[in-house]
C-alpha cells in the first residue's frame, strides 16, 4: 500500500513539473538561432548586470558584496544536469563571485578581465570545444568581443542597445532577476531536453 501511495505521489510530482515548464516558448526565435542553440555545449556568463542587477554594495572596510537570484542558481545546476558546462568571465575581482558560483558546480572562473577574448579562448581550449559550441550572456560593451566570437550571442533584457543589436537571443528577464535561468531553459527547449525530466532523473534516480 505504501509503495502504491509512493507511486501516486511521484506521478503527481512529475505532472506538476511538466506543467511548470510549459511556459518556455522559442517560437520568437529564428530558425537559424534555434539551430545555433542546438549546438551549444558551454554557456559563458558575465557577472555584473547578468548574474546580478549590476549594483555594488561596499562596506566600510571596502569589501564588495552583490546579490544573486536563486532562480539563476537553479538554472546553472539545470545546465550541468543537461550536459551544458558553465563558466564565468568578469571584469571585477570580488570574492563573493566564487563563493556563490563554486557551490553550484562552476569551476571555470576568469575574474579581472576587461578584455575577454583571451579567457574565452582559454575556456574553449580547456573544454575542447569550438566557439560555435559556446553561448555567451552579456549586458555591456565589454561583452561585445566575446559576443561577436561565439556561436550563440545572448543579452539580458536591460542590456545596452549595442549589446542587444548583436545578440541572437535577448531574454525577457532583466539581469539579476532570473535571466540566466531563462536562457538555460531556452537552450534546453531548442535541444529538446525537458528541465522537468532532468529534475526528475536527478532527484528520483
In this prediction, residue 86 has a pLDDT band, given cuts at 50, 70 and 90, of very high
Q: What are phi and psi of 28, to 5 degrees?
A: -80, -10
CA distance 132 to 173: 25
Mean pLDDT, the chain, rounded, equals 86
- Give the pLDDT of residue 1: 42
| Tens-place pLDDT, residues 132-173 | 999 999 999 999 999 999 999 999 999 999 999 999 999 999
Q: Is the pTM of this model over 0.75?
A: yes
Q: What is the mean pLDDT of residues 36-60?
A: 93
Percentage of the residues of the chain whose pLDDT score is greater than 90? 64
Residue 11 pLDDT greater than 50, yes or no: no
Residues in CB range of 27: below 8 A, 6 or more apart: none
Q: Which of 43-47, 53-57, 186-190, 194-198 is predicted most confidently?
A: 43-47
- Kindly report the CATH class assigned to 2-204: alpha beta
Decide which of 146 and 64 is more confident. 146
Q: Which residue has the cell 579567457?
A: 119
Map out the domains of the chain as residue ranges. Answer: 2-204
CA distance 88 to 71: 17
Q: Residue 57, SS3?
A: strand
Residues in CB range of 68: below 8 A, 6 or more apart: 51, 52, 100, 176
The secondary structure element, H or E, covering residue 127 is: helix 117-127
Least confident of 33-42, 62-71, 140-149: 62-71
The distance from CA 35 to its chain's CA centroid, rounded to whole angstroms, is 18
CA distance 77 to 72: 9
Decide which of 201 and 157 is more confident. 157
- Give the pLDDT of residue 57: 86
Amino acid at each position: 500500500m505504501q509503495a502504491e501511495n509512493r507511486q501516486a505521489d511521484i506521478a503527481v510530482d512529475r505532472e506538476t513539473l511538466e506543467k511548470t515548464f510549459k511556459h518556455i516558448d522559442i517560437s520568437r526565435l529564428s530558425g537559424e538561432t534555434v539551430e545555433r542553440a542546438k549546438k551549444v555545449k558551454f554557456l559563458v556568463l558575465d557577472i555584473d548586470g547578468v548574474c546580478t542587477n549590476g549594483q555594488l554594495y561596499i562596506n566600510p572596510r571596502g569589501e564588495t558584496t552583490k546579490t544573486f537570484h536563486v532562480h539563476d542558481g537553479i538554472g546553472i545546476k539545470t545546465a550541468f544536469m543537461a550536459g551544458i558546462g558553465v563558466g564565468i568571465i568578469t571584469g571585477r575581482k570580488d570574492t563573493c563571485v566564487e563563493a556563490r558560483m563554486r557551490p553550484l558546480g562552476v569551476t571555470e572562473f576568469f575574474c579581472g578581465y576587461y578584455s575577454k577574448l583571451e579567457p574565452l579562448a582559454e575556456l574553449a581550449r580547456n573544454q575542447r570545444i569550438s566557439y560555435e559550441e559556446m553561448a555567451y550572456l552579456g549586458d555591456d560593451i565589454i561583452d561585445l568581443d566575446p559576443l561577436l566570437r561565439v556561436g550563440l550571442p545572448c543579452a539580458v533584457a536591460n542590456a545596452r542597445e549595442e549589446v542587444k543589436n548583436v545578440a541572437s537571443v535577448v531574454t525577457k528577464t532583466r539581469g539579476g532577476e532570473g535571466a540566466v535561468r531563462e536562457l538555460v531553459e531556452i537552450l534546453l527547449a531548442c535541444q529538446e531536453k525537458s528541465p522537468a525530466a532532468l529534475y526528475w532523473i536527478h532527484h528520483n534516480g
